[in-house]
Amino acid sequence: MMVVSESPVVVITGAARGIGAHLARGFADAGYRVFGCSRSGGTLGDLQLAAVDVTDERAVHDWIAQVLDEAGRIDVLVNNAGVVDDEVPIEESDPAQWWDAVEVNVRGPYLLTRMVLPGMLAAGSGRIINLNSGAGTRPGEVASAYHVGKSALGRITGSTHASGSGRGVYAFDLAPGVVRTDMTESMPVHRQRTDWTDPAQVVELALALADGRLDAWSGRMVRAGADTPQSLHNRATAGLAEQARTVGLIGWGADDPIA
């Protein structure tokens, strides 16, 4: 018999390590019932992680069905699982690796959103947080698949926001800055870095997005280490332009026929 959880329920992908692990612990400490996954499963403290390949439609479907069977609802989805391709220009990239990175960074969040969003819409409540990046706002001289994937992820966020508008469901792009993780430490571009983003700032911002304090930012990007819940609240209160913190075409002026 299904028993609806009294605690808010959060689903977090890529929860075994790095930012995902920080988020899982942070949400648990904040009183959420946490369901996490990683490609190989495992444990994170007392949390048992499901073994889920986020690019596998059947695996995602079965896991979300299991979560709903155990908890009765999903209040927050955090699409955190992601990978980066080699830091080489596009003409030197490996096609198989390039496409694998796009699949993890785009198909994964899409499948999780596709499985979770209908229930949120039916309940009239829910929030989806996509771990994005400044790389999603510009082309990349290297690691082009990562840039492509994060740009596409922003469109998933925007489309989710459009579906949820007026129906109690909100979607956000959360750029975590540069947190020291296995992934970032393996990237040549960060080898000399000393100014790392404190993971506590990422958790603080994610929790503020999850609990509804920053719903005015739905469909937009926020950035840990630069934004705080208070600064974002103040900015929203002062007013947000329609395209603020979104990615779109910049026309040459008012007479541009496609702007």
Provide the annotated active-site residues.
Answer: 146, 150
CB atoms within 10 A of CB 134: 13
Give the CA angle between residues 129, 202, 45 to the nearest 5°.
Answer: 90
CB contact at 8 A, 85 and 18: no
Which residue, chain included where needed, has tokens 């007026």? 166
Q: Alpha-carbon Rg of the chain, whole angstroms?
A: 18
174 phi and psi, to 5 degrees?
Answer: -115, 110
CB contact at 8 A, 177 and 197: yes
DSSP of 152-203: HHHHHHHHHHHHHTTTTEEEEEEE------HHHHT-GGGTT---PPPHHHHH
Using DSSP bridges, classify how beta strands 42-44 and 47-51 pair: parallel, antiparallel or unpaired: antiparallel
State the DSSP code for 237. H
Question: Distance between CA 70 and CA 56 in Å, rounded?
Answer: 21
